[in-house]
Amino acid sequence: MKGTSTWKSSHTWALLAILAGIILVGLFTPPGLRLWAWLIVMVLLALFSIIAGYGITGLWWGLLIDERNKMSLSRFQMVLWTILILSAILTAALFNVALGLADPVSISIPAELWLLMGISTTTMVGSPLILSTKRTREADDYDTARAFDRIISNQGVDPNALDTKGLVIINTDPREARWSDMFRGEEVGNGGQLDLGKIQMFYFTIILVLAYGSALSSLFANVTSGITAFPALDASMVALLGISHAGYLTNKAIPHS
């Protein structure tokens, strides 16, 4: 069956159960187990996202599939940051509620973290906007055939599932989405080649997510009272991520066909 919306009442109940689980974990976990509580909340948020994606697309990895029916690196990095930061905010706020703080959601978030989230959001929004300008241009038949041959031979994609919209290669079936889509070019001119801009952004994203995740782990493991502030994020690291995202978007904007 083609991956289309398969939302059922069971998906709704599963999401409600996950939300209830998050609240219970946040409110009733003993102080000495706050780190574990945060990790559980993070897993539950990831599960929530996966089930929501499955309910809408009929695919477990549907959360990461964009309008091209391909895996999207910009979606992937946005999902990572959203789950990491939102799980920390939820867990901290629920801990503060359990402790009876007067203003449990008064948690100081470093400006660098807001900037980082803004960069990630801009990339996710800007990526399809840039590609939309390339959908109106006509692709060269030779470049298209060459790109399709590379993708079919290297990835085992169904030839009937490949198509183009202007210069942009798309899948007609979301089931043909591959993890390798996140690292390949998107046009007929580079669709069968590795995109170094994507590799760079992936590296920086993983490094920063792990680094800030470690800082949050230390916070939850060692705090003895209410949580009123999150760890600072080094401005130079945010600058590096910003440069990486700028390079990613610039490379996407440059014609490759």
Dig out the tokens for 42 from the structure. 């993070």
Model pLDDT for residues 34-46, shown as the tens digit of each residue: 999 999 999 999 9
| pLDDT tens, position by position, 9-33 | 999 999 999 999 999 999 999 988 9
Spatial separation of the C-alpha atoms in residues 146 and 166, rounded to whole Å: 16
Quote the pLDDT of residue 1: 42
Q: Identify the H or E element spanning 88.
A: helix 73-99
Instruction: List own/partner pairs for 234-243 with CB under 8 A and 24 or more apart.
Output: 234/112, 235/112, 237/208, 237/211, 238/112, 238/115, 238/116, 238/119, 240/204, 241/116, 241/119, 241/204, 241/205, 241/208, 242/115, 242/119
The pLDDT assigned to 3 comes to 46
pLDDT tens by residue, 200-211: 999 999 999 999
Residues of the chain with pLDDT under 70: 1-5
Across the chain, what does the average pLDDT equal? Answer: 90
CA dihedral 83, 53, 121, 66 (to 10 degrees): 150
CB 185 within 8 A of CB 191: yes
Give residue for tokens 């089930």. 51
Domain ranges of the chain: 9-253
Residue carrying the six token digits 């801990």: 95
Question: What's the confidence (pLDDT) of residue 5?
Answer: 56
The model carries a pTM of 0.89
